Homo-oligomer: A and B are copies of this chain.
Amino acid sequence: MVEDKKISMAVIRRLPRYFRYLSDLMKLDIKRVSSKELSERMHITASQIRQDLNCFGGFGQQGYGYNVEYLYNEIGRILGTDKRFNCIILGAGNMGNALANYENFKRRGFDIVAIFDVDKEKIGNKINDIEVYSTETLAEFVANNKIDIAILTVPNKKIIDIATEVTNLGIKAIWNFSPTDLRLGEGIVVENVHLSDSLMVLGYRLREKED
């Protein structure tokens, strides 16, 4: 078993992608894969793949390749896909709705247990069977339920206040969809989703192709 502490965050950030590709290979009943084959599928250099997967010790063998199932299970274990996390969504707008309907999250161990909004018209509705509550009841809800992650899809001008409130209630992890990069001190982990970053990379690659 791998000692997780040795793995850098840069590698960790690539692991979900390896995990997806290995999952595809397993569905195709492929037992072994070389770094060259993975490289062609994933558009990562074979040398980068070998370097990344080196962290996992010697189970990639020269001329023999990686054991797909073992690697899949090991990466899954490190990513904690066997763990479950309770999540709440703050903001029942379009993005909140889209996320509440994303079936992938549950499969990956993330259960969305409640949605909060200030809009009286939305309170009491259900989105994908998840109830929308008034933000006024947030403190009480968090006191009575173990909540691991707050998913923030509130308007940008409210983001700092909401993030502060949520962390004051003891929630330790925030998934932030506002354009503001949240920094909330040592005890809180934040992943800021910047959709326009990905779009800018697409624009760059398109121009490069056309030049």
* A residues apposed to B, CB below 8 Å: 4, 12-13, 15-17, 19-21, 78-81, 83, 85, 93-95, 97-99, 101-102, 104-105, 108-110, 148-149, 172-173, 175, 179, 181, 187, 189-191, 193-210
* Contacting residues, chain B, for A206 (C-beta < 8 A): 85, 148-149, 172-173, 189
The 3 A-B pairs with the shortest beta carbon distances in the complex, nearest first, are A16-B197, A94-B98, A94-B97
A199 to B195, CA, bound (A): 14
Copies in the assembly, this chain: 2
**B198 pairs with A193, CB closer than 8 A:** yes
* Other A-B pairs beyond A17-B197, A110-B203, 6, CB < 8 Å: A15-B200, A80-B207, A102-B195, A104-B196, A175-B198, A175-B202
**A204 pairs with B12, CB closer than 8 A:** yes
Which of A20, A173, A204 has the most CB atoms of chain B within a 10 A radius of its CB?
A204
A198 to B193, CA, bound (A): 8
* Contacting residues, chain B, for A21 (C-beta < 8 A): 181
A189 to B199, CA, bound (A): 11
**A203 pairs with B95, CB closer than 8 A:** no
A153 to B17, CA, bound (A): 20
A175 to B204, CA, bound (A): 13
**B191 pairs with A199, CB closer than 8 A:** yes
**A173 pairs with B205, CB closer than 8 A:** yes
- Given that A12-B201, A200-B16, A204-B78 are known contacts, is A93 also in contact with B102, CB under 8 Å in the complex? no
* Contacting residues, chain B, for A193 (C-beta < 8 A): 195, 198
**B201 pairs with A80, CB closer than 8 A:** no
A33 to B167, CA, bound (A): 30
- Given that A98-B94, A198-B193 are known contacts, is A203 also in contact with B20, CB under 8 Å in the complex? no
16 sample A-B contacts, Cβ–Cβ < 8 Å, listed by A number: A12-B201, A13-B201, A16-B194, A16-B196, A16-B200, A17-B194, A20-B181, A21-B181, A95-B98, A104-B179, A108-B199, A149-B206, A172-B210, A173-B202, A173-B206, A191-B201
